[in-house]
């Protein structure tokens, strides 16, 4: 019986030793796993730090690109405005040159009551409702004198005011008549030529109202 107990005891001790060995192995495995978890955690932290760094760099770069884009858009807008302004100036120059060509091609010599004036059909037809526009619109045949001029049997003393009015679309400070008598005489001529705009200006002036200067074209 003692032999049986001894054998059982030995088997029990052997089982305990085996259990201790397994526990030791488990603890070793646990430490290895803990180490791996720690290493993975450190790598995750490094990865997060790199991601944060990359995000910061990306945000900075995006901001720089947005600023560069705004700057280029501003420059482009300025260039567009300059091109538009240059185009406007060019068109104005073309219009002026075209007008000069029309003036040159339509030169007219007038003899108004013995006073000779050289002007253009463009000027004379500027007020479409006037008698001058009717005369030189091409709708009527107007007889020339032997010297090539057109004779108008009116007082030509102040006719230059009428031409300046038609050329400028109004009176400027240095072309307006300043004498009331001249204004009244000119009013008579303006009514004869059916220049309604000029008639209105001269009536205001003659009645003592402030003389109004008009700019622009019909």
Give the model confidence (pLDDT) of 16-64 as tens digits: 777 778 888 888 888 888 888 888 888 888 888 888 888 888 888 888 8
pTM of the predicted structure, to 2 decimals: 0.50
Q: Report the interhelical angle of 180-192 vs 159-168 (nearest 10°).
A: 70
- Helix/strand/coil percentages in the chain, nearest 5: 65, 5, 25
Q: How many CA atoms lie within 13 A of 155 on its CB side?
A: 12
Question: Over the chain, what is the mean pLDDT?
Answer: 81
Sheet holding 150-152, edge to edge: 115-120, 107-112, 150-152
* pLDDT score, position 14: 64
* Percentage of the residues of the chain whose pLDDT score is greater than 70: 79
Query: With 50 as the cut, is the pLDDT of residue 76 above it?
Result: yes
Distance CA 18, CA 30 (A): 18
Binned at pLDDT 50, 70 and 90, residue 8 comes out as low
At 74, the pLDDT band (50, 70, 90 cuts) reads confident
- Going by pLDDT thresholds of 50, 70 and 90, the confidence category of residue 1 is low
pLDDT digits (tens, 9 = 90+) for 176-215: 777 788 888 999 999 999 999 999 888 887 676 444 444 4
Range 2-8 average pLDDT: 64
Q: What is the torsional sign of CA 72, 75, 76, 77?
A: positive
Q: Which CATH class is domain 107-206?
A: alpha beta
pLDDT reported for residue 117: 94
* Residue 2 confidence (pLDDT): 61
Q: Quick one: which of 146, 99, 151 has its CA closest to 121?
A: 99
Question: Max alpha carbon distance in the chain (Å)?
Answer: 169
CA 111 to chain centre: 48
């Amino acid at each position: 019986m003692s032999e049986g107990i001894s054998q059982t005891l030995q088997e029990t001790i052997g089982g305990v030793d085996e259990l201790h060995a397994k526990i030791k192995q488990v603890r070793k495995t646990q430490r290895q796993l803990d180490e791996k978890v720690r290493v993975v955690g450190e790598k995750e932290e490094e990865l997060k730090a790199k991601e944060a760094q990359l995000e910061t760099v990306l945000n900075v770069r995006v901001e720089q690109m947005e600023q560069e884009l705004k700057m280029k858009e501003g420059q482009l807008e300025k260039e567009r405005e300059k091109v538009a302004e240059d185009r406007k100036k060019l068109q104005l120059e073309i219009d002026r040159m075209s007008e000069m060509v029309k003036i040159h091609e339509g030169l007219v010599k007038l003899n108004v009551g013995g006073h000779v004036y050289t002007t253009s059909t463009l000027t004379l037809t500027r007020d479409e409702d006037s008698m001058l526009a009717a005369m030189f619109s091409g709708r009527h045949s107007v007889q020339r004198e032997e010297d090539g001029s057109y004779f108008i049997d009116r007082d030509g003393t102040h006719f230059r005011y009428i031409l300046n009015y038609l050329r400028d679309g109004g009176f400027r400070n240095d072309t307006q008549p300043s004498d009331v008598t001249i204004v009244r005489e000119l009013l008579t001529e303006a009514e004869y030529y059916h220049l309604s705009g000029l008639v209105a200006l001269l009536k205001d002036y003659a009645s003592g109202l402030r003389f109004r200067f008009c700019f622009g074209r019909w």
